[in-house]
C-alpha cells in the first residue's frame, strides 16, 4: 500500500511539473511591437541574431538610475536568466537565454522603475544571413593588402569634417592630423587592389576615435559599435565588405581588446570599480591626467611565458596602460570579457568578415584571450584570427599559435600570429655583406626556425607595416633588394601581408620611423594629386616596374598550389646565392636570390633532389623558359622565380 501511495505521489508530482513546463512554454505569447520605442540611452549589443551555439547573450543597459529597474521580456524563446546591478546606478546587465525556438523579430524590453513608471526599449533578433561554416577565414592561399584608411583615398570630401567631434578639419601637411581618406575611397579602388593580385584587405580600425588629437589611426576607439563618421557610415563599411565578397576577396577587421580611447563614452561613468585597470588611480587624477601620472605598461611581454617572471612584472605588463590616452581594459571583469567577445561576434555577423587581426595580442589578460578566440572559433570553425606579437623571438611567436605544446599548457585558440622575426631576418639579410654569419644566412636560418611553429603556413609574414619604416627605407632605397624581399615573402610557407604603397616604393627617408610619414597619402587618392598611382600617371619608371613586378608575382601566386600548400625545401646560401623551392604534386616553384653584382654560374647538381633535371621551367616574371641541366648563369643581382607549370 505504501509502495502504491509512493508511485501515485511520484506520478502526480511528475504530472504537475510536466504541466508547469508545458504551460510555461505555451504561456509565452510574443508581445506585438506596434511601434519601435527607444526610451533607453544605450543598449549593447544594439541587436543580435538567432541560431548561435552559445544561447546566452549579455546586454549592457545604460540609462540614468536604471540600476533600480525591474526588466521584463515577453517574447517566445527569449527569457531573462539573470539581472546584475553594477557599481554605478546607471547600468544594468541582463543575461538573456535565446533558445533554438526563438524566431527573428522585434520585441520590447520593459523596465519598471521604482515609481511604477515604465521605460520601453525595442530590441531585435535577426536571422543569420549564412551558416557559420561559410565564414571562411584567410589562409596561405591569400595575399593581404594592409591599408591606413585615412591615408589611402578620399572619395567623399563631405565627411572630412563632422560637427561635434573633438578633432576638426583636415591638414594633409601634418602627418598626425586627419587627411580625409575614407571607406568609400577603398571601395572605389577595389579594381586596382584586385588587379594587383591581392585576395584580402585589412584596413586599420575604422571605428570612431572621438579624440582631441591623433584620431586618424583608429586604435583609440570611443565607441565599439560605431563607425567613425569621418570614414563613413555602417552602410559604407558593409558596402566594402559586400564588394569584396563579390570578387571572392575577404575583409579582415582590425580589432582592439586591450584598450579603448580616453574619450570613450563609458569613461565618464564607469560601470564597475574595476572596469579598466588602475581605475582608482585614474579617477583620483583624471583632472590632471597625463603621461607622468599614468601607470603605463612595462611592455615586458615575455612575462606571459617566462617561468621565472615575478607576478609584479606580469601585472605591470598586462595591467599598465599602453599610453595615457588609452585606458587599459580589465578583461578579468566578467562583464567586460563578455562585452569584448560579443562585440567581435557582432562585427563578424554584421560585415560577414573573412578574419580578424587582433591588436597588441600579448597585453590583455591571456586567459581571457584564449577564451575570446575559443568562443569565436567555436561559432565559426573555418574562421581566422591573427594576433600581433611584436617579438623577434620565434619561441614567443610560436607560443601564441593554437596547438603549440607549451610548458604551461596554455592554448591560445589562435590560428595565426605575426612573424616579426622573419621581417627582421629579411631586412638584415639583404642589408648585410655576405659572410659566414651575416647576409642571406639570416633568411635561411630564420626559415629553419619553422620547427618551432605548430603550423608555419598559418603565420602572417610581412616586410613592413603601419608601425615601422617602409621596406624600401629599411633596404636603403635599393629597388632590387626590395624586389628580393617581396618575392621571398610571397614564396615562403606563410600568409603574406603587404602595406599599401609598397608597390610604388613609398618611403619614409625624410624622417625614418616617423608614423605620420610611414602612413603617407597614397598618390592619386585625392582630387588634384599630380601623381596618380591608380592610373600610373606621374609614376617613375622604377615605381611602374615595381607595380608590374608585384602584379605578376601576386597573380601567379593566386593559382599556385605549390606556394599555397606545397612542401618547402631550401639550400644553405653559398657564394651569395640562396635557393628555396616549393613543391606540390603538379608543380615545383624555385626561388633563387642572387646578391652578386657580377654574373654568377650556378651549378645545378647540388639541387638534384628537386627532381628537375631535364625539365623546362618558365620565369614567372619574364616568361622566358630554360631547361634545368647542369648549370645556370645568373647574369645580374636579383630574384629569379621559376615554375614547372606551363604558362
Enumerate the active-site residues: 359, 388
CA–CA separation, 43 and 278 (whole Å): 26
158: Cα within 13 Å, side-chain hemisphere = 4
DSSP state of 528: T
Question: Which is nearest to 245 in space by CA: 129, 343, 156, 153?
Answer: 129
Q: Which grid cell sits at 491?
A: 614564396
CA–CA separation, 486 and 383 (whole Å): 26
DSSP state of 638: E
At 533 the three-state DSSP class reads: coil
Length of the chain: 647
At 309 the three-state DSSP class reads: coil
- The DSSP bridge partners found for residue 259 are 328
CA–CA separation, 241 and 617 (whole Å): 39
Q: Which grid cell sits at 498?
A: 603587404
Long-range residue pairs from 284-291, CB within 8 A, at least 24 positions apart, any chain: 289/262, 289/324, 290/324, 291/323, 291/324
Q: Which grid cell sits at 285?
A: 587624477
Q: Are 389 and 351 in contact (CB under 8 A)?
A: no
Q: Which grid cell sits at 341?
A: 567577445
Helices (H), 188-265: 190-196, 234-246
Contacts of 10 (CB under 8 A, 6+ apart): none
Strand duo 105-112 + 70-73: pairing: antiparallel
CA distances from 161 to 151, 158, 371, 636 (A): 15, 7, 39, 51
Residue 403 region by backbone torsions, left for phi larger than 0, else alpha for psi between -120 and 50, else beta:
left
CB neighbour class for 462 (10 Å; exposed up to 12, middle 13-18, buried from 19):
buried
Residue 531 preceded by cis peptide, ω within 30: no
Amino acid at each position: 500500500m505504501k509502495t502504491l501511495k509512493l508511485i501515485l505521489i511520484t506520478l502526480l508530482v511528475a504530472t504537475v511539473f510536466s504541466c508547469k513546463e508545458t504551460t510555461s512554454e505555451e504561456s509565452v505569447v510574443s508581445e506585438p511591437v506596434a511601434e519601435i520605442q527607444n526610451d533607453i540611452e544605450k543598449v549593447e549589443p544594439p541587436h543580435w541574431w538567432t541560431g548561435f551555439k552559445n544561447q546566452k547573450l549579455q546586454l549592457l543597459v545604460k540609462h540614468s538610475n536604471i540600476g533600480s529597474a525591474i526588466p521584463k521580456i515577453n517574447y517566445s524563446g527569449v527569457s531573462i536568466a539573470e539581472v546584475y546591478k553594477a557599481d554605478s546606478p546607471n547600468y544594468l546587465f541582463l543575461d538573456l537565454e535565446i533558445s533554438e525556438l526563438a524566431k527573428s523579430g522585434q520585441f520590447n524590453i520593459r523596465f519598471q522603475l521604482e515609481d511604477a513608471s515604465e521605460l520601453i526599449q525595442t530590441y531585435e533578433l535577426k536571422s543569420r544571413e549564412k551558416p557559420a561554416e561559410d565564414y571562411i577565414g584567410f589562409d596561405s592561399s591569400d595575399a593581404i593588402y594592409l591599408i591606413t584608411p585615412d591615408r589611402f583615398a578620399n572619395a567623399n570630401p563631405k565627411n572630412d569634417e563632422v560637427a561635434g567631434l573633438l578633432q576638426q578639419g583636415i591638414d594633409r601637411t601634418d602627418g598626425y592630423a586627419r587627411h580625409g581618406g575614407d571607406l568609400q575611397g577603398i571601395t572605389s579602388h577595389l579594381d586596382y587592389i584586385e588587379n594587383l593580385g591581392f585576395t584580402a584587405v585589412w584596413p586599420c580600425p575604422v571605428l570612431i576615435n572621438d579624440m582631441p588629437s591623433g584620431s586618424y589611426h583608429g586604435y583609440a576607439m570611443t565607441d565599439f559599435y560605431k563607425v567613425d563618421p569621418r570614414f563613413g557610415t555602417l552602410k559604407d563599411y558593409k558596402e566594402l565588405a559586400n564588394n569584396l565578397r563579390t570578387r571572392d576577396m575577404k575583409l579582415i577587421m582590425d580589432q582592439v581588446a586591450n584598450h579603448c580611447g580616453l574619450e570613450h563614452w563609458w569613461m565618464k561613468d564607469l560601470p564597475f570599480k574595476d572596469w579598466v585597470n588602475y581605475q582608482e588611480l585614474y579617477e583620483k587624477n583624471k583632472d590632471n591626467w597625463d603621461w607622468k601620472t599614468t601607470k603605463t605598461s612595462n611592455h615586458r611581454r615575455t612575462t606571459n611565458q617566462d617561468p621565472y617572471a615575478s607576478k609584479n612584472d606580469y601585472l605591470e605588463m598586462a595591467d599598465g596602460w599602453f599610453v595615457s590616452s588609452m585606458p587599459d581594459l580589465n578583461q578579468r571583469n566578467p562583464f567586460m570579457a563578455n562585452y569584448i567577445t560579443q562585440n567581435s561576434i557582432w562585427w563578424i555577423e554584421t560585415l560577414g568578415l573573412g578574419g580578424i587581426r587582433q591588436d597588441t595580442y600579448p597585453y590583455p589578460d591571456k586567459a581571457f584571450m584564449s577564451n575570446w578566440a575559443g568562443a569565436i572559433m567555436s561559432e565559426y570553425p573555418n574562421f581566422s584570427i591573427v594576433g600581433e606579437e611584436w617579438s623577434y623571438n620565434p619561441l614567443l611567436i610560436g607560443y601564441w599559435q593554437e596547438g603549440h605544446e607549451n610548458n604551461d599548457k596554455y592554448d591560445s585558440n589562435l590560428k595565426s600570429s605575426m612573424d616579426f622575426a622573419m621581417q627582421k631576418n629579411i631586412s638584415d639579410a639583404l642589408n648585410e655583406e655576405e659572410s659566414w654569419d651575416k647576409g642571406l644566412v639570416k633568411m635561411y636560418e630564420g626559415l629553419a626556425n619553422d620547427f618551432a611553429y605548430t603550423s608555419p603556413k598559418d603565420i602572417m609574414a610581412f616586410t613592413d607595416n603601419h608601425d615601422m619604416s617602409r621596406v624600401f627605407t629599411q633596404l636603403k632605397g635599393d629597388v632590387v633588394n626590395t624586389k628580393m624581399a617581396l618575392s621571398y615573402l610571397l614564396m615562403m610557407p606563410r600568409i603574406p601581408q603587404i602595406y599599401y604603397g609598397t608597390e610604388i616604393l613609398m618611403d619614409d627617408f625624410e624622417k625614418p620611423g616617423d608614423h605620420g610619414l610611414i602612413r603617407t597619402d597614397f598618390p592619386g587618392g585625392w582630387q588634384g594629386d599630380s601623381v596618380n598611382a591608380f592610373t600610373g600617371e606621374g609614376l617613375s619608371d622604377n615605381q611602374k616596374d615595381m607595380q608590374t613586378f608585384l602584379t605578376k608575382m601576386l597573380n601567379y601566386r593566386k593559382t599556385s598550389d605549390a606556394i599555397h600548400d606545397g612542401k618547402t625545401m631550401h639550400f644553405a646560401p653559398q657564394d651569395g646565392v640562396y635557393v628555396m623551392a616549393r613543391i606540390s604534386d603538379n608543380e615545383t616553384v624555385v626561388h633563387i636570390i642572387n646578391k652578386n653584382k657580377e654574373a654568377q654560374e650556378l651549378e645545378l647538381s647540388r639541387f638534384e633532389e628537386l627532381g628537375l633535371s631535364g625539365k623546362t621551367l618558365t620565369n614567372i616574371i619574364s616568361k622566358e623558359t630554360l631547361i634545368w641541366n647542369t648549370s645556370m648563369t645568373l647574369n645580374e643581382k636579383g630574384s629569379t622565380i621559376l615554375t614547372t607549370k606551363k604558362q
